[in-house]
Amino acid sequence: MKQSDIWEIEAKFRDLCKRRGWRTSETEDWVEVKDSYHHFIWVRDVHLSSFKRITKNNKCVVRDALTYRVIESSYTAWLFLKTPQQALVKAVLESADFSCKIALYDLSSLADGKSICGKLNGTDSSVFREFEDFLENEFKIKFEPLSHLDASETQSNACAVTEMT
């Protein structure tokens, strides 16, 4: 996937969000809906320890006119340009704190011209659902479960990931 493709996805999705009346940023990747922030993080690869630190910190930067403030994001979507490590997927599946607030999207196949991507989204984020619909409708991307883990390998938790496709 070329950088210009990422920018096109971002710009078109940002426009869609604005049409829905959601607040967005031109310089940061977040969407605000009813005082909750839905944060998008584009990444090629991330080490498991960094992923956990960033996810537990759960912050994003919001610019208001000439000032910046750091806020707690309600939800975070990790958009991977390279297939994420299985350990990351497992970390999300095994933690109720992560699985309720974190979505993972493997967009790496787009670089090869394929239109099937992986996803793991157990959140109730309306923005992430809209993002998935947007990718399906606008770019003809289909999603398949990101996790290939056997359900017995993961802990049962209060926010089990039930919708994987």
For residue 57, give both structure tokens: 């910190």
- The answer to the question of residue 138 being in a domain is yes
- Is 141 inside a domain boundary? yes
What is the band of 154 on the pLDDT scale with cuts at 50, 70, 90? very low
**Mean pLDDT confidence for 41-50:** 94
d(CA 160, CA 142): 22
What pLDDT does residue 165 have? 38
pLDDT at 159: 54
* Cα–Cα dist 119/36, whole Å: 22
**CB-based burial, 53-65: b 16+ in 10 Å, e otherwise:** eebeebebebeee
For the beta carbon of residue 73, count every other beta carbon within 10 angstroms: 21
Let me know if residue 146 belongs to a domain.
yes
Residue 99 lies in a domain: yes
Residue 16's nearest CA partner among 136, 143, 127 is: 127
Q: Is 14 contained in some domain?
A: yes
Residue 121 lies in a domain: yes
How confident is the model over 89-142, as pLDDT tens digits? 999 999 888 899 999 999 998 888 888 999 999 999 999 999 999 999 998 999
**163 located within any domain:** no
What percent of the chain has pLDDT above 70? Answer: 86
Average pLDDT for residues 143-150, to the nearest whole number? 71
pLDDT digits (tens, 9 = 90+) for 52-70: 999 988 888 888 878 888 9
Total count of domains within the chain: 1
165 in a domain, yes or no?
no
- Model pLDDT, residue 60: 87
CA within 13 Å, CB half, 44? 4
Which structural domain range is residue 34 located in?
A: 3-153
Q: What is the pLDDT of residue 141?
A: 92
CB neighbourhood size of 157 (10 A): 16
Query: Is 80 exceeded by the pLDDT of residue 47?
Result: yes
Report the pLDDT averaged over residues 155-163.
43
